Amino acid sequence: MRNLSAVTEFILLGIPHTEGLETMLFVLFLGFYIFTLMGNLLILLAIVSSPRLHTPMYFFLCQLSVCDIFFPSVSSPKMLFYLSGNSRLISYAGCVSQLFFYHFLGCTECFLYTVMAYDRFVAICDPLRYTVIMSHRACAILAVGTSFFGCIQATFLTALTFQLPYCGPNEVDYFFCDIPVMLKLACADTSVLEMVGFVSVGLMPLSCFLLILTSYSRIVCSILQIRSTEGRHRAFSTCSAHLTAILLSFMPVVLIYLQPSPNPWLNATVQVLNNLVTPMLNPLIYSLRNKEVKYSLRKVLQQVAFPPEK
């Protein structure tokens, strides 16, 4: 019987089949990361600085921007660190943290999109009671609830993954610690846990997606009944931005976690798009299709470029 010691650190091998492209990837991903941070910070600043945007819809958009700042920050700094020629080692605790915060923020965003769909449903289908239903207290409860249930889901998935013994190979064939690649390194039978994880990861976004679909089915029916062309266009414009962001967020989950025969290169490519590109596009999606946000952003940029003289 072999004497196997517990693994205390892992080696991140990075994106498969990209050997020799480290410098190009570093520049590309650094650009994505900077634009993601700047775009979401500008959205936050625009909403906070404009009293007319202090409504439930923009409150949840602020929470989404916060998630989009932290979500790529789970894996990008370490990835950029080793792409610049530094160590690929990550401690056991660091690996646990990466997996937990990745799923915590991802699940929180998933629940948040569901809440945002409900907010649009109430605003369009029951406008007279909107301020009563979406009160400050209700918004606070929904915001805390998205993070709370995201934390529960992430805690379950992290505990499920790291309750296994890791005593042999420590090379993670990926650019960050995630469930599928970590289970491959475990020194135990993982078939049951893979099935439980598959159901858990699949059930949560599926439930959210069905609730979102229900909200938008009702929304579309209500929009078609609006007689004013301008009112119909305004409603469709707001909802189409939200639906675009939802598709960009949910499609990677399906491609990465629910495909029958995983493809490592495809998984890594889609995951990079999910981690860096989608959070970068969200500010563009919401600002380009929204006159109020564009107006507030313009004011913020003017104040930054041409500060008032004292």
Inform me whether the pLDDT recorded for 2 exceeds 50: no
Give me the pLDDT at residue 308, please.
65
Q: 16 is written with which tokens? A: 């498969």
Q: 254 is written with which tokens? A: 């399906």
Give me the pLDDT at residue 59, please.
93
Are 232 and 226 within 8 A, CB to CB?
A: yes
Contacts of residue 252, defined as CB under 8 A and 6 or more positions apart, other chains included, come to 270, 271, 273, 274, 278
Percent helix, strand and coil across the chain, each rounded to 5? 75, 5, 20
Provide the CA 14 distance to its chain's centre, in angstroms.
20
Give me the pLDDT at residue 85, please.
86
More confident residue, 239 or 44: 44
Provide the CA 70 distance to its chain's centre, in angstroms.
9
**Cα gap 276→269, rounded to integer Å:** 11
Each residue of 90-104: pLDDT tens digit?
A: 999 999 999 999 999
Q: Percent of the chain beyond pLDDT 90?
A: 40
Residue 64 has a CB neighbour count (10 Å cut-off) of 27
Each residue of 263-301: pLDDT tens digit?
A: 677 777 888 888 888 898 888 887 766 777 878 878 877
Look up tokens 């979406």; give the residue. Answer: 134
Specify the range with the lowest mean pLDDT, choosing from 118-132, 144-158, 267-281. 267-281
Q: How confident is the model at residue 56 (pLDDT cuts 50, 70, 90)?
A: very high
Each residue of 8-53: pLDDT tens digit?
A: 899 998 888 888 888 999 999 999 999 999 999 988 988 888 888 8
Q: Which helix (H) or strand (E) holds 9?
A: strand 9-12
Average predicted confidence (pLDDT) for the chain:
85
* DSSP β-bridge partners for residue 218: none
Architecture (CATH level 2) of domain 9-294: Up-down Bundle (1.20)
Contacts of residue 1, defined as CB under 8 A and 6 or more positions apart, other chains included, come to none
Average pLDDT over residues 229-247: 75
Average pLDDT over residues 148-173: 91
Look up tokens 């160590």; give the residue. Answer: 87
Inform me whether the pLDDT recorded for 258 exceeds 70: no
Q: How confident is the model at residue 1 (pLDDT cuts 50, 70, 90)?
A: very low
Strand order in the sheet with 171-172: 89-91, 9-12, 171-172
CA distances from 198 to 104, 182, 206, 211, 272 (A): 16, 14, 12, 20, 21
Q: 291 is written with which tokens? A: 């006159």
Its sign, for the CA torsion 43, 44, 49, 52, is positive
Tell me which residue of 191, 180, 291 sits closest to 241, measured CA to CA. 291
Q: Would you kindly state where each structural domain of the chain is located, as residue ranges?
A: 9-294
pTM of model > 0.85: yes
